[in-house]
Amino acid sequence: MTQEYLIEEYDELEPEEWEELENEEDSAFIAAVIRQNDNAEDSIASLDEMERLADTAGIAILGRYTQKRNQPERSSYFGKGFLEDISTKMLQAGARLLIVNDELSPIQARNIEKTYHIKVIDRTEVILTIFHKHAKTKEAKLQVKLAELQYQLPRLKRLWGHFDKERGSVRATGGSASRGMGEKQIEIDKRLIRVQIRKISKAIDQITQQKETQRKQRENSKKICLVGYTNAGKSTLFNSLTDAGVLVEDRLFATLDSTSRQLKLSTGAPAVISDTVGFISHLPHHLVASFRATLMEAVDADLLLHIVDIADPRHEYYVTQVNEVLKSIGAEGIPQLLVLNKSDLIDDRMKTIMERFYKDSVAISAAQNTGIEELLAKIEEILMDNRSYSVLLPYAQTALVSRLHDVGIIESEDYRDDGIHLKVIIPATDKHLIEKYIVTKANS
Ligand SMILES: Nc1nc2c(ncn2[C@@H]2O[C@H](COP(=O)(O)OP(=O)(O)OP(=O)(O)O)[C@@H](O)[C@H]2O)c(=O)[nH]1
Ligand SMILES: [Mg+2]
């Protein structure tokens, strides 16, 4: 298949097959199973997060319910009594949806809907809805579309009510469409979806290849990638470092595609910095798979700037969750600098405690532009592997002093009888300049 043909296919996906979701308000109950060993605090925080996700997806939450169980029920996730009770309460409250804070199996979702006559969606569907709403670039739209189709495939029977029949996008609306649909129709749809999945995967492969080429072209540049939990302030920092004007919003998953810009380091060495999609705990695996092209940006980096919202009491949890996702994409071995953002929201005492608690971290406020200099210095230190040396230069090499001023930092300069004594910090790449004159390595 020629490349041109692929590009044509890729163009076809817009705008006919992409449907903006209507911003209609929906209402729901949230329900979760609390397992025996679950930590109470974590469970509450997880439900809070689900509520925030629902809010971002445009769904108002009218109530929260939990059931204590050892394991979710295999056929219906919750127990019978709980579901009977909740369906009555939903009716009374006028809640249209039940949101389950987990990924339901196709059977579980179908059974809940059929037996209790309530419309149920899971955490993955809510996240997919947000991604769908926020996808703006072709890259993001293709990736979201792929994740949606892969999610739909095993769930066709049930999703007939939720997904738009012709276009196949996630919708938490409708319901009557499922009536009278035959098995044959489902088979036809499955085939159509598989064809679409293949088509989109090809288009995404093409983007991945393009990105690969771009990356190769930037091979001489050091690559820095911003990673972090959604809403940590990645785009804000990206903007303050590069003046790029990337969308910053107080909502989850504001950024879905990856944007790269040149970053000027004081040493003049070329560097490229990329902003990327936010992480979240239990990021649906379909999304991780579809967003491969975007996440590759992190896998390929020389340095990860891991941004965490230090004003959020759950910072430790976020750091762990982001590291989990990094591990799942094979980026756990890349050097990481932890950036404690939003430090304007905590007092100085707390700031000191946090910097001590997280070794190799730097506290900043991306919004107020504080700590940026220190951050850049640390970035340079790591990237350039800057080392400090004691050097004794013969007077015949006086010209080298000004050269060293250009490429590094001269901490002390002492003109004595035996020559010029210097303490310099320079990038490893420039070490050859002084190799012959090194007296001691001040640190390494
Ligand atoms: N107080 C304070 N707010 C900040 C700071 N940095 C970012 N914010 C706010 O935090 C919110 C999220 O910022 P973004 O930069 O969009 O976060 P992000 O990590 O790119 O989020 P996603 O793209 O959704 O993953 C916005 O409302 C910002 O204004 C900061 O240093 N201090
Ligand atoms: Mg962002």
User: What are the angstrom distances between the C-alpha of 110 and each of 29, 113, 310?
Assistant: 18, 5, 41
DSSP label at 167?
T
Q: Are residues 396 and 283 in the same domain?
A: no
290 in ligand 1 pocket by Cβ < 6 Å? no
Of 217, 239, 274, which marks where a domain is finished?
217
Q: Are residues 89 and 189 in the same domain?
A: yes
Which residues are bridge partners to 225 per DSSP? 274, 304
249 in ligand 1 pocket by Cβ < 6 Å? yes
Q: Are residues 409 and 321 in the same domain?
A: no
Distance CA 149, CA 170 (A): 9
Q: Are residues 239 and 305 in the same domain?
A: yes
Average pLDDT for runs of 10 along the chain of length 444? 40 60 81 91 90 91 94 95 96 94 93 93 91 84 90 77 43 41 76 92 87 76 90 93 72 76 77 87 78 81 94 93 89 91 96 91 95 90 80 92 85 93 82 86 52
Q: Domain of 430: which CATH number?
A: 3.30.70.240
Residue 163: predicted pLDDT: 47
Q: Domain of 50: which CATH number?
A: 3.40.50.11060
* Domain that includes residue 365, residue range: 219-383
Q: Domain of 354: which CATH number?
A: 3.40.50.300
Question: Pocket of ligand 1, candidates 137, 241, 248, 321: which has the most ligand atoms within 8 Å of its Cβ, to mutate?
Answer: 248
Q: Are residues 181 and 232 in the same domain?
A: no
9 in ligand 1 pocket by Cβ < 6 Å? no
134 in ligand 1 pocket by Cβ < 6 Å? no
267 in ligand 1 pocket by Cβ < 6 Å? no
Q: Are residues 408 and 373 in the same domain?
A: no
Describe the crossing of helices 183-217 and 138-152 by its angle, rounded to 10 degrees. Answer: 150
User: For the chain, how many structural domains are there in total?
Assistant: 3
Taking the complete model, does pTM exceed 0.85, yes or no?
no
Q: Whose CA is nearest to atom 14 of ligand 1?
A: 233
371 in ligand 1 pocket by Cβ < 6 Å? no
**Closest-approaching ligand to the CA atom of 342:** 1
Q: 412 C-alpha to center of ligand 2: Å? A: 42
Which residues make Cβ contacts (< 8 Å) with residue 5, sequence separation at least 6?
A: none
Q: Peptide bond preceding 106: is omega within 30 degrees of 0, i.e. cis?
A: no
Backbone dihedral angles phi then psi of residue 405, each to the nearest 5 degrees: -60, -35
Q: Are residues 194 and 227 in the same domain?
A: no
Q: 141 C-alpha to center of ligand 1: Å? A: 23
Question: Pocket of ligand 1, candidates 130, 236, 362: which has the most ligand atoms within 8 Å of its Cβ, to mutate?
Answer: 236
Q: 308 C-alpha to center of ligand 1: Å? A: 10
Residue 23: predicted pLDDT: 63
Q: Are residues 196 and 344 in the same domain?
A: no
Q: 299 C-alpha to center of ligand 2: Å? A: 18
Q: Are residues 294 and 339 in the same domain?
A: yes
Q: Are residues 268 and 334 in the same domain?
A: yes
Distance CA 173, CA 163 (A): 8
183 in ligand 1 pocket by Cβ < 6 Å? no
Task: Tell me the longest C-alpha to C-alpha distance in the chain.
Answer: 98
Q: Are residues 18 and 79 in the same domain?
A: yes
Q: Are residues 413 and 367 in the same domain?
A: no
